[in-house]
Structure 1
Amino acid sequence: MALGGTAKKLQKVIDAAEQLYSKMNEVIERVGKVEEDLEKTSGQVDGIERELAEQRALVEALAERQGVDVEETLAAADLPETAADEGGDGDGADAGGGDDGAGTTEATAE
């Protein structure tokens, strides 16, 4: 009779292992999708940063032609603070340029 109890316990362990294996495969699949989304988003952000840099260069060139002091305009603008301005972790080094570029466009366009 002890052999029958052992077989039942072993079957329970096998069932639990199969469930765990199934869950692990689901997690692996989800992580793969997250990685794909992250790569796609990273590419989109890179493209947006490049476009923003191009726009900033154009706006600054136009401002210079019109005699507008870009640095003075930026200093006077009410720009939102970035993580770098607030003493963040430093990962947003390019983020400061991004906000300034948007602010420059708005300030110059008015």
Structure 2
Amino acid sequence: MGIGGTAKKLQKVAEMGEELYKRINDLREQVNEMRETVTATHDRVEVLESEVAEQRAILEALARTEGIDLDAVVAEAHITEAERSNGEGDGSAGGDASADAEDSVTGTTANGPGDSTSRD
């Protein structure tokens, strides 16, 4: 092999090295940007969690003041959400489960206390 063939191979290896170096720098920049995004998102989540905790404390205090059974309200919300989730997947044509549910605060149904369709 002559010197010309070796020079071409060395040039090709040098070009590949430069391309890899560029790619590594691009990846390094992307990782740094991702790290900054994750840190900013983490900070926002901490603030939101703090605000939600404050709001929950306020709602619990209001519920106690008004004599509302917060556990019953939360349980009813979870049941209603589960029924909605189950109804979406099977394409059932049943009525809205929350429309017939008794309001745990007022003791009435969504149809009203005097409606003949309300349950007792």
TM-score (norm 1): 0.70
CA distance in 2, matches of 1:74, 1:30: 43
CA distance in 1, matches of 2:81, 2:72: 13
CA distance in 2, matches of 1:21, 1:15: 10
Give the greater-gyration-radius structure (CA): 2
Amino acid paired to 1:38: V
Aligned to 1:18: 18
Q: 1:23 and 1:38, CA in 2 relative to 1: closer, same or farther beyond 3 A? A: same
Aligned to 2:50: 50
Residue by residue over 1:31-75, the C-alpha shift from the partner in whole angstroms, topping out at 9 and shown as x without a partner, is: 100100100000000100110010001001000000000001111
Does 2:63 align with 1:72?
A: no
Does 2:12 align with 1:37?
A: no
Amino acid paired to 1:4: G
SS at match of 2:68: coil
Seq. identity, %? 43
Amino acid paired to 2:28: I
Q: Whose helix proportion is higher, 1 or 2? A: 1
| Larger RCO (CA within 8 A; separation ≥ 6) | 1
Amino acid paired to 2:21: Y
Structure 1 moving runs of 4+ over 2 Å: none
Gaps of 5+ in 1: 81-106
Aligned to 2:6: 6
CA distance in 2, matches of 1:60, 1:76: 16
CA distance in 1, matches of 2:28, 2:76: 50
CA distance in 2, matches of 1:67, 1:45: 32
Gaps of 5+ in 2: 83-103, 106-120
